[in-house]
Chain A
Amino acid sequence: MAEKEIIDTIEGEYKYGFTTDIETETIARGLNEDVIRLISAKKEEPEWMLERRLKAFRHWQQMPLPEWAHLNIPEIDFQDIIYYAAPKQVKKLGSMDEVDPELKRTFDKLGIPLEEQMALAGVAVDAVMDSVSVKTTFRETLAEKGIIFCSISEAIREYPELIQKYLGTVVPYTDNYYAALNAAVFSDGSFCYIPKGVRCPMELSTYFRINAENTGQFERTLLVADEGAYVSYLEGCTAPRRDENQLHAAVVEIIVERDAEVKYSTVQNWYPGDKEGKGGIYNFVTKRGLCREGARLSWTQVETGSAITWKYPSCVLLGDNSVGEFYSVAMTNNYQQADTGTKMIHIGRNTRSRIVSKGISAGKSQNAYRGLVRVAKGAENARNYSQCDSLLIGDKCGAHTFPVIDTRNSSAVVEHEATTSKISEEQLMYCRQRGLSTEDAVGLIVNGYAREVLAKLPMEFAVEAQKLLAINLEGSVG
């Protein structure tokens, strides 16, 4: 769908003023202070939250659009977007037979169990799996440990002291264009707080698998691991996601207090547009975590979707002995564009960071790694190891690497390795001679290449992510 069509579809015939009907609640397109006041009011936010949004909005208006990325971004008319739409009550489907056959095919290939397929596709699941009770069980288990896990809107109302203490401290609204926009208009997202010394008893991914809800266009996530706490959090889903909103600008902030550890994994498979490069999501994300003394933050991402990806999950290693890690597989096919990487900011002493980036480009896509390793003056004995590999499939795609190293302390040790390779005819011949189809051979070779990163994902997702890579490369060779 073209952008215009998408907007028309959402907007329908309500072109003037604020409208309400039974199914959806939307406001007119465009952005001004009234719109922000309305968003805040709809969410029953306290006054201080509205003030924050307005401040961010006023700042955003002064900012120029960033153009430094290796991306060709079509002009976005920010006044032509609808900034608030209450989640629609999607009509539940009666059975799996009503699900789009293409989606079903992908589910099968991914090997997602039937019950979950139904949940993801929006089939009423009560008969098969009591999702409400599962959800409640999770909540109870978490509550016993004092873990807070709720929507950010709920958190703003229920836990204002935590929100005021942490929100915007790692990614302030002044950070960049899209972060400012998000701070002004964020729709919803998640809040997670793990209290001191608590080890979250489950992968928070499990929760998401059953509650794969549409989180909206301007998602805001805040995750706080208090001293000595541990949590493994998974965002996204291997199942393909379509969304009517073309522009997505999410912000994820993570605070890792002293000796705490956070693993944040992402599988992003938004609609990438069709084979001719029409449509698809523009994904402009700001993700950053702050590590206190002895803390550890590990980002793992598998990026296969979106027409445009602009994303640099980063670690600010503020405390002494803190550790930051970034493991990434970014795959682009057809006309997709990705400019992704990380920033490791070493401030504390004896801080360590590790970057493993695996780019895979196929079709006519462009895939760039952009990374910054900065060692501040006081960061004695900082260490970084970076490895940036690119794999090219076919001869019409591009892979680019933009690593920046900025060291201001002579005791730092910074290593950077980079390779570029292609799937060779010889490798394909070898696999096929052993009875593998070309498609399976490509999948196998790509997965072997990405193995180091995939191994960092929670088990059940690693298996699906492997299949996902293979599926998204279908038809790109031979």
Chain B
Amino acid sequence: MLKVKNLHASVGDKEILRGINLEVHAGEVHAIMGPNGSGKSTLASVLAGNEKFTVTEGEVEFMGQNLLDLSIENRARMGLFLGFQYPVEIPGVTMANFMKMAVNEQRKFRGEEPLTAGEFLRMMREKSAVVELDSKLTSRAVNEGFSGGEKKKNEIFQMAMLDPKLAVLDETDSGLDIDALRVVATGVTKLHTPENATVVITHYQRLLDYIVPDFVHVLYHGRIIYSGDKSLALKLEKEGYDWLINEYDK
């Protein structure tokens, strides 16, 4: 589904990604961990097409297409979803209106008819239940006045609405209390199927108690320096990154 080969990216003259290699197949869950400033969020942004970053080298294939040639919106329409670390507010635009546009853009891209108002409302109700999102929030403006927890739930709600092939969740667990974490993580798990894949970026093992990864990668200094299975996350939780970094720096 996703093949990243020797990906380099920079912001200004500063190189942040220095040769990422990563392969994600349908049905898999990958966790990306690593110390602050290692390039985790940059990787998510570059995959989504954020124009702040320049790809200087490497290739990315998504669903058999050259991802780097596609616009931000076409990546999204093809089924790439980014759960933002800091979801932005859009004053005056209701969630319902925003999602209706997003869902119908995707349908148009696939050559499908737009949903009727009734179909859409039913879908909203169904999907907001996945993350126990208060249905009143959908009539409020996008993220405006949402609490930290509500914002993150709202990201997963949007993921449920758009049913992506590949979801990249950028620190979806940050700033959540234990209950909200459980709701968000359970939501992500519910959405997981053999046909789709999830990449979760996180600092903490606790998220991985709910979302059990098939692979755990450690990102450091713009490269994946170590990959393992879910036990790696537990080890990192106990021992930190130093043992890996020391080895790598040698």
Contacts and interface: CB of A to CB of B under 8 A. Distances in A.
Interface in B190-227: none
Nearest to B73: A432
Contacts of A436: 73, 101-102, 105
Contact of B93 (A429, A432, A433, A448): A448
Given A435-B102, A445-B93, A448-B92, A429 B72 contact: yes
Contact of B52 (A425, A447, A450): A425
Interface in B33-84: 48-52, 71-73, 75-77, 81-82, 84
B98 A444 contact: yes
A215 interface: no
Interface residues of B, number: 33
Interface string A440-451: 100011011111
Interface in A419-468: 424-427, 429-438, 440, 444-445, 447-452
A444 B49 CA distance: 21
Interface of B: 48-52, 71-73, 75-77, 81-82, 84, 86-88, 90-93, 97-99, 101-102, 105-106, 109, 141-142, 158, 162
B48 A450 contact: no
Given A433-B48, A440-B101, 6 more contacts: A427-B90, A430-B88, A432-B73, A433-B73, A434-B76, A451-B93
A449 B162 CA distance: 25
A426 B52 CA distance: 10
A438 B76 CA distance: 13
Contacts of B49: 432-433
Contact of B162 (A435, A444, A447, A448): A435
Contact of A429 (B50, B98, B102): B50
Contact of B76 (A425, A427, A432, A440): A432
Interface of A: 424-427, 429-438, 440, 444-445, 447-452
A427 B88 contact: yes
B88 A426 contact: yes
B98 A434 contact: yes
Contacts of B48: 429, 433
Contact of A449 (B76, B82, B91, B158): B91
Nearest to A443: B101
The 7 A-B residue pairs with the shortest CB-CB distance in the complex, in nearest-first order: A448-B92, A448-B93, A451-B92, A434-B102, A435-B105, A432-B72, A435-B76
Nearest to A450: B92
B77 A448 contact: no
A464 B87 CA distance: 30
B90 A431 contact: yes
Contacts of B52: 425
14 contacts: A429-B72, A430-B87, A431-B90, A432-B72, A433-B73, A434-B76, A434-B162, A435-B106, A436-B73, A436-B102, A440-B101, A445-B93, A448-B92, A449-B91
B88 A424 contact: yes
A424 to B, nearest CB: 7
B73 A448 contact: no
Contacts of B51: 425, 429
A464 to B, nearest CB: 17
